[in-house]
Structure 1
Amino acid sequence: MTYSSNIHSIHYRFENLRDLLGKAGAARSGDSLAGVAANSAEERVAAQLALADVPLQSFLNEAVIPYEQDEVTRLIHDSHDRAAFAPLSSFTVGEFRNWLLSERTDDAALAAVSLGITPEMAAAVCKLMRNQDLIAVARKRRVITRFRNTLGLQGRLSVRLQPNHPTDDPHGILASTIDGLMYGAGDAVIGVNPASDDPLKLRPVWDLLAALVERLEMPTQTCVLTHATRQIEAIEQGAPIDLLFQSIGGTEALNRSFGISLALLREAQHAALSLKRGTVGNNVMYFETGQGSALSANAHHGVDQLTCEVRAYAVARAFDPLLVNTVVGFIGPEYLFDGKQITRAGLEDHFCGKLLGLPMGVDICYTNHAQADQNDVDDLLLLLGAAGVNYVMGVPGSDDILLGYQSTSYHDALYVRETLGLRRAPEFEDWLQRMGLTDDEGQLTSSTELAIPALTRAAALPT
Structure 2
Amino acid sequence: MQQFTHMVGSRTYGFRDLKDLMAKATPARSGDNLAGVAAASAEERVAAQMTLAALPLSTFLNEALIPYESDEVTRLIIDSHDAPAFAVLRHLTVGDFRNWLLSDDADEAALAAASPGITPEMAAAVSKIMRIQDLILVAKKCRVVTAFRNTIGLKDRLSTRLQPNHPTDDASGIAASVLDGLLYGSGDAVIGINPATDNVPQVIRIVGMLDEIIARYGIPTQSCVLTHVTNTIAAIERGAPVDLVFQSIAGTEAANASFGVNLALLAEAQQAALSLGRGTVGNNVMYFETGQGSALSANGHHGLDQQTCEARAYAVARRFQPLLVNTVVGFIGPEYLYDGKQIIRAGLEDHFCAKLLGLPMGCDVCYTNHAEADQNDMDVLLTLLGAAGCTFVMGIPGSDDIMLNYQTTSFHDALYARRVLGLKPAPEFEAWLKDMRIFTADDYITLGQAVPAPFQAALPRLA
TM-score scaled by length of structure 1? 0.98
Q: How far, CA to CA, are the matches of 1:332 and 1:277 in structure 2?
A: 37
Deviations 1:25-49 (CA, angstroms, capped at 9, x unpaired)? 0000000000110000000000001
Distance 2:56 2:362 in 1: 30
Corresponding residue SS for 1:11 = strand
Alignment of 1:327 onto 2:347: no
Matched residue of 1:281: which SS? coil
For residues 7-41 of structure 1, what are the alpha-carbon distances to aligned partners after superposition, in whole Å with 9 as ceiling and x for unaligned?
A: 01211111111000000000000000001100000
Distance apart, 1:448 and its partner CA: 4.5
Q: How big is each residue's C-alpha offset from its partner over 1:66-107, in whole Å with a ceiling of 9 and x where there is no partner?
A: 000100000000000000000000000000000000022111
Alpha carbons 1:122, 1:352 under 8 Å: kept: yes
Partner of 1:225: 226
Cα RMSD (Å): 1.1
Q: Specify the alignment match of 1:457 in structure 2.
A: 457
Q: Given that residues 246 and 288 in structure 1 are in contact (C-alpha distance below 8 angstroms), is that contact kept between their aligned partners in structure 2? A: yes
| Contact preservation (8 Å) 1:120, 1:307 | yes
Equivalent position of 1:94 in the other structure: 95
After superposition, where does 1:141-290 map in structure 2 within 5 Å? 141-290=142-291
Residue aligned with 1:25, SS: coil
| 1:380 corresponding residue in structure 2 | 381
**Compared CA separation, residues 281 and 72, structure 1 to 2 (3 A):** same
- Structure 2 distance, partners of 1:36, 1:122, is 19
Structure 1 stretch 433-442 or stretch 417-426: which is displaced more?
433-442
Deviation at 1:4, TM superposition (A): 1.3
Structure 1, unpaired ranges of 5+: none
Partners of 1:446 and 1:200 in 2: CA distance: 38
Contact 1:216 1:458 in 2 (8 A): no
AA of the residue aligned to 1:222? S
| Aligned equivalents of 1:221, 1:174: Cα separation in 2 | 15
CA contact (8 A) 2:175 2:462 kept: no
1:110 alignment partner in structure 2: 111
**1:200 Cα deviation (Å)?**
2.1
User: How many angstroms apart in 2 are the aligned matches of 1:224 and 1:460?
Assistant: 26
Percent sequence identity is 67
CA distance in 2, matches of 1:440, 1:351: 33
1:72–1:252 contact (8 Å) kept in structure 2: yes
Cα distance, 1:441 vs structure 2? 2.5
Contact preservation (8 Å) 2:176, 2:462: no
Q: Distance in 2 between matches of 1:230 and 1:460?
A: 33
Alignment partners' CA distance in 1, 2:114 and 2:37: 30
- TM-score computed with the length of structure 2 as normaliser: 0.98
1:302-329 deviation per Cα after TM superposition (whole angstroms, max 9, x unaligned) = 0000000000000000000000010000
Aligned residues, how many? 462
Distance in 1 of aligned mates of 2:385 and 2:124:
18
Does the CA-based 8 Å contact 2:181-2:411 persist in structure 1?
yes
Counterpart secondary structure, 1:450: coil
List per-residue Cα deviations over 1:165-191 (Å, max 9, x = no partner): 000011100000000001000000000
> How far apart are 1:440 and its partner, in Å?
2.0
One-letter amino acid matched to 1:425: A
Partners of 1:447 and 1:162 lie apart in 2 by 23
1:459 offset after TM fit, Å?
Answer: 8.7
CA displacement at 1:378 relative to structure 2: 0.3
Summarize deviations over 1:258-317 as a string: whole Å, max 9, x none: 000000000000000000000000000000000000001100000000000000000000
* Corresponding residue number in structure 2 for 1:30: 31
Structure 1 stretch 1-10 or stretch 302-311: which is displaced more? Answer: 1-10
CA distance in 1, matches of 2:203, 2:356: 36
